[in-house]
Amino acid sequence: MRKKTVDVRALKASGFIRQTENEYFVCRLRVPGGNIVTEKMVQAAELAKKYGRGYCHFTFQQSIEIPYVKLDDMDALKAELDGLGLRMANCGPRVRAITACQGCKVNPYGRVDAPGLAAAADEKYFGLDTPAKFKIAYSGCNIGCPNPQENDLGFHGMVEPELAPELCNGCTLCVQLCKSRGGESLVMNKETNLPERDDKRCTYCGECIYCCPTNAWVVKRIGHAVYVGGKHGRFPRWANRVADFVSDEETFELIEKCVAWYNQNSKRGERFGTAIDRLGLKKFKQEVLGDKYTAAKEWDVHGDRPKGVHYRVLHSWDPEDDE
Ligand code: SF4
Ligand code: SF4
Ligand code: SF4
């Protein structure tokens, strides 16, 4: 019997990934931002029963996978997915499905619409070819649940507070909260009985704004912090924070600029962070950011804490690891 020839790379690009057992493939579904309507979730489960072994796997990249699909069933499964409007994700050297947390619509800490932005960015940039995998994450706040510092390009929401002193009753709640969250940016001025903010120590979490019972703290600026070159894997690299307070639209602009720079400056298999290390962060900043965006506050090298605060430093070297 003649053996069927399979182009595994092409299948990876379309979302079918070979399993350990050569005759089976995982079908990876695209769920940008991690939100999927229940109807589609049920349909995916039904397809897992029909074409797989009756279970789905949720990946760390927020995709739903149907394992144990036979090579001969792929076309039929793909046709059913298309008919239901369920889209395939991908694998290999390209922009992956864009991830996000629940953001400000659901989570009290959220400052920006992380899943909405991830879905919009995914429509524009999913599947663009890059020298190696390229992961993008949107985080609603600086707690960073979707790990923006461990993605090739990551964003997290940030807010700069401003005090309307006439509204403050001196309750000290914001000062206590800021301290308990590790910001330690606020102190009460004993003479004025008003909180004072040290911008150098402020993490822009915005909690003072949301805890104040009299709405004395207001939003002065809101936007996203930008991280480049992060990755996990065998040789993790903590991302460089390169800009602060970029707008929603500017996050899209930066995705385009980073992908273009990466394609122009890297060879196949080299991760984005490795290219930045090889060519220098300074060159990257000059060529991609110029003087258009607000520079990131000066932080520890590879860290995201104000200077002097200990944080982890990870390896920045990696071999080619395009899985
Ligand atoms: S990153 Fe912030 S907004 Fe997003 S889930 Fe975590 S705490 Fe909530
Ligand atoms: S929580 Fe509001 S009212 Fe209380 S000290 Fe802070 S700013 Fe003033
Ligand atoms: S934004 Fe966060 S860190 Fe800054 S003053 Fe308010 S609570 Fe403190």
Q: What is the 3-state secondary structure (H, E, C) of 137-196?
A: EEECCCCCCCCHHHCCEEEEEEEEEEECHHHCCCCCHHHHHHHHCCCCCEEEECCCCEEE
Compute the residue count for the chain: 323
209 within ligand 2 shell (Cβ under 6 A): no
Ligand 2 midpoint to CA 294 (Å) = 28
Q: Which atom of ligand 3 is nearest to the CA of 174?
A: 7
Q: For residue 314, what pLDDT is reported?
A: 39
In terms of residue numbers, what domain contains 25?
8-84
- Burial tier of 207 (Cβ tally within 10 Å: 0-12, 13-18, 19+): buried
pTM of whole model > 0.85? yes
The tens digit of pLDDT for each residue in 194-244 reads 999 999 889 999 999 999 999 999 999 999 999 999 999 899 999 999 999
Q: Are residues 118 and 72 in the same domain?
A: no
Q: Are residues 183 and 305 in the same domain?
A: yes
Q: For residue 128, what pLDDT is reported?
A: 98
Ligand 2 midpoint to CA 246 (Å) = 28
Say if CB 65 and CB 56 are below 8 A apart.
Answer: yes
From 84, 115, 140, the end of a domain falls on 84
**Nearest protein Cα to ligand 3, atom 6:** 208
The tens digit of pLDDT for each residue in 53-87 reads 999 999 999 999 999 999 999 999 999 999 999 99
Q: Which atom of ligand 2 is nearest to the CA of 217?
A: 7
Q: 31 in a domain, yes or no?
A: yes
Q: For residue 4, what pLDDT is reported?
A: 67
Token digits of residue 145: 């649940």
Q: Are residues 22 and 149 in the same domain?
A: no
Cα–Cα distance measured from residue 302 to residue 96, given in angstroms and rounded to the nearest whole number:
24
Q: Are residues 76 and 211 in the same domain?
A: no
In this prediction, the residues of the chain whose per-residue pLDDT falls under 70 are 1-4, 299-323
Q: For residue 6, what pLDDT is reported?
A: 79
Say if CB 33 and CB 98 are below 8 A apart.
Answer: yes
Q: Which atom of ligand 2 is nearest to the CA of 215?
A: 2
Q: For residue 176, what pLDDT is reported?
A: 95
Say if CB 221 and CB 206 are below 8 A apart.
Answer: no
Q: Which atom of ligand 3 is nearest to the CA of 209?
A: 6
Ligand 2 midpoint to CA 121 (Å) = 37
Query: Which residues have C-beta within 8 Å of that of residue 116, sequence separation ≥ 6?
Result: 33, 103, 105
Q: Are residues 299 and 161 in the same domain?
A: yes
Please state the domain count of the chain: 2
Q: Are residues 54 and 146 in the same domain?
A: no
Q: 1 in a domain, yes or no?
A: no
